[in-house]
Amino acid sequence: METKNKTPFFVSSLIFLLCCLARFCYGTDIIRQGKTMKDGDKLVSSDGVFELGFFSPENSRFRYVGIWYKVDMEAVVWVANRDKPMVNTNGVLRIGIDGNLVVLDGNRNLVWSSGVPGILSNTSSARLQKNGNLELLNNDTSEVIWDSFHHPTDTFLPGMKLPVSLSMGEVRFFRSWRSAIDPSYGNYSAGIIPNGGPQIVIWDQSGRRRWRSGQWNEVIFTGVSNMSNTASFLYGFKLSETDENGTRYFMYKPSNSSALSRFHIGYDGTERLLRWDGKNWTVLLSQPGNKCDLYNHCGNYATCDNFVSSSTCNCLEGFRPKFEDQWSKGNWSGGCERRTELECQRGKPDGFKRMKCMKLPDFSNIPVKSRDDCRQSCLGNCSCTAYAYVYGIGCMIWVGDLVDVQHIDQSGPIQFFYRLNHSDLDDKKKISNGVIVIISLVGACFLVAFLWLLWRYKKKLKVSSMVCCKDKDAVVFIEFSTEFSADFSGPSDILIDGNQVNRPELPIFNFSIVAAATNNFCEENKLGQGGFGAVYKGELPGGQEIAVKRLSRQSGQGLEEFKNEIILLAKLQHRNLVRLLGCCIQGEEKMLIYEYMPNKSLNNFLFAKQAVLDWRTRVGIIEGIARGLLYLHRDSRLRIIHRDLKASNILLDAEMNPKISDFGMARIFGGNQNEANTWIYVT
């Protein structure tokens, strides 16, 4: 009898609990078949970063379905029904009878649909992923049927993959809002175009270009003048290898993966990189940033210079204003024209004028040409107006007018050559032979004096700032005495203590930036001490955590290891090798800058009593080390023998992924080499 009385109470409690769970089911990240998400319910990504739900912009009565950052509901990154808002709070989001994700208004009329044909109605569900991507999934196969990343609105998020297809010409557009309170299609769009080297372009409503980033050279966009000011930009962007369909994908991964960031095309036509600082969104990059950034602001064959108080236009050397009266009034849109016609059509050779510190013109062609053939290819084609050979891109040829040329404070080792009549190249005042002899003798004396001083003081580095004319950047790139080639081949031209070191393919950090990042190398930032020198923890201006290995001035062996690490790690890249972000060589100071490993070395876990690893983690570490060694011994373009592999040289990142480090004693072997004579090292 007592058991009978308890049974109804148990059943009632269970029903009450299930009702409560049903009410709060949308605290999860998934919408299943047969479930309805009402206005007021929210879908939250598993890490709690993104939310999906119904919202109204400020001072608006209309309702939309969208995705936003949980820390700031106004930071909307995607809108479903942007051109068809609802007028009340009776709308719902559900899996429709055709298996698509649909938004219905209060009368259950269709407002928006994912619109994928041929889905079985009972096999789909929708999930909000940790990267902010809303995916429609096939429950049987886990296949992604549709996702919001392939149908963006005005925001590019880390984790998105933008197709860059030369064969198909596919461009995925981001469209701005119409206003701050109206998510409908606005006046500006942005996307990445593949032709002539991938670059970001902003268009206005009529399809005219408003701004472009300049061509991507595998490191930076060459036309963004301040892109290298923050070290985090250098390693955030990546262009994937070509897949079987001939498509490459552009991605962005912030240096600090825990920081919230987004690229946003505003209703004013400005693209901004924003990062959450805990209270507000900080603008790290904004384009266009001035009048010179506006597309072809000075017209054809003219450069825009923003280094003076106001944007100034100048014709390229050998050109003159096309409309003098308008030019003098500050109306530069007409551009410039040649002073002297080219001789090529009459069978006579022309010359080329070299330019540096320039944003390369738009509409280039990239023929399959070597560096040596690039000039000859342009010289032999009378339609060719300019050429350049750019590291990471290759030979670039311009046919027709030179459009959107800008003087910028960054272009690295890029040299741009445009075609001129020889008379425009030789129109400078002639100098007598006697003056030439005197100048030559004086120059020779200065050269001898300079070489003597160079030998005496042992200048450490022959570099040129990537800021050709203004050395203000936190990170600079090495400029070599010869032009870059696509495979980084070429002579050495870095001197360290009088010894040549093969040129590194990585940034050089200014000493002041490294010192600031490590709080002037204070003891609290010190991670350890070795034969090489001290290791410090630091943080770059972009928020990226780094480890700085500072060479001891008394370490002779450390100097050899320093040179060896620059030569090797700059050419190696693998998920199980520690990542060398750059180096600093200034006066007596020599430092290597690595990615920071929060879990330190394997040594701490194997020999520390308080740290115990589970077997899954142990097996993962073993597999990672094996993958790294396989890459070094067999799969990398250089065959490397580490020679100092031990627990203290296995570093662990935040996810306990192992990274092989300390390549100071490593040795390069030839492809068929099985043995070598080496010095004996004891560690």
Whether 663 and 521 map to the same domain: the answer is yes
Q: Which residues of 95-125 are buried (b: 16+ CB within 10 A; e: fewer)?
A: bbebbbbbbbbeeeeebbbbeeeebeeebbb
Domain presence at residue 102: yes
Q: Which CATH number is 610's domain given?
A: 1.10.510.10
Q: Retrieve residue 144's tokens.
A: 């992604």
**pLDDT surpasses 50 at 183:** yes
Together in a domain, 267 and 175: yes
Are 564 and 639 contained in the same domain? yes
Residue 207 located in a structural domain: yes
What percent of the chain has pLDDT above 70?
79
Residues spanned by the domain of 520? 511-668
**Which one from 98, 147, 182, 644 is the annotated catalytic residue?**
644
List pLDDT tens digits, range 306-350.
Answer: 765 556 899 999 999 999 999 988 899 999 999 999 999 888 889
Determine the average pLDDT of the residues in 210-228.
83
- Tell me whether residue 455 is in a domain: no
Q: Which residue among 289, 318, 350 closes a domain?
A: 289
State how many domains the chain has.
4
pLDDT of residue 556 exceeding 70:
no
pLDDT at 38: 96
Out of 289, 319, 339, a domain closes at 289
Are 141 and 159 in the same domain? no
In this predicted structure, what is the pLDDT of residue 553?
67
Asked whether residue 282 falls in the same domain as residue 184, the answer is: yes
Q: Given a cut of 80, is residue 198 above it in pLDDT?
A: yes
Nearest partner of 43 among 56, 26, 55, judged by Cα: 26
In a domain, 681, yes or no: no
502-538 pLDDT per residue, tens: 444 567 788 888 888 898 888 888 988 877 788 999 9
One domain, residues 643 and 520: yes
Domain CATH code at residue 259: 2.90.10
Q: Per-residue DSSP letters for 47-76?
A: TSSEEEEEE--TT---BEEEEEETTEEEEE
Lowest mean pLDDT among 56-65, 118-127, 238-247, 416-425: 238-247
Q: How far is CA 296 from CA 209, 293, 380, 431, in A?
A: 9, 8, 28, 38
In this structure, the answer to whether residues 526 and 602 fall within a common structural domain is yes
pLDDT of amino acid 415: 84
Mean pLDDT of the residues in the chain: 81
Q: Are residues 247 and 305 in the same domain?
A: no
Q: Residue 95 pLDDT more than 90?
A: yes
Residue 644 is a catalytic residue: yes
Question: Is the domain of 96 the same as that of 79?
Answer: yes
pLDDT at 213 over 70: yes
263 shares its domain with 323: no
Whether 676 is covered by a domain: the verdict is no
Is the predicted pLDDT of residue 158 greater than 70, yes or no? yes
Q: Is 359 annotated as a binding residue?
A: no
Does some domain include residue 208? Answer: yes
Asked if 282 and 408 sit in the same domain, the reply is no
Looking at 424, 440, 455, the residue that finishes a domain is 424
Look at residue 656 and tell me if it is in a domain.
yes
662 and 525 in a common domain: yes
What pLDDT was estimated at residue 680?
55
- Residue 313 in domain: yes
CB atoms within 10 A of CB 333: 15
Residue 428 has pLDDT above 50, yes or no: no
Q: Which domain CATH number covers 114?
A: 2.90.10.10
Q: For the segment 620-674, what is each residue's pLDDT rounded down to a tens digit?
A: 999 999 999 998 888 877 788 888 889 989 999 988 999 998 887 777 776 566 6
Distance CA 391, CA 488 (A): 8
Sorted by sequence, the CB contacts under 8 Å of residue 457 that are 6+ apart come out as none
Higher confidence at residue 85 or residue 545? 85
Q: What is the pLDDT of residue 541?
A: 74
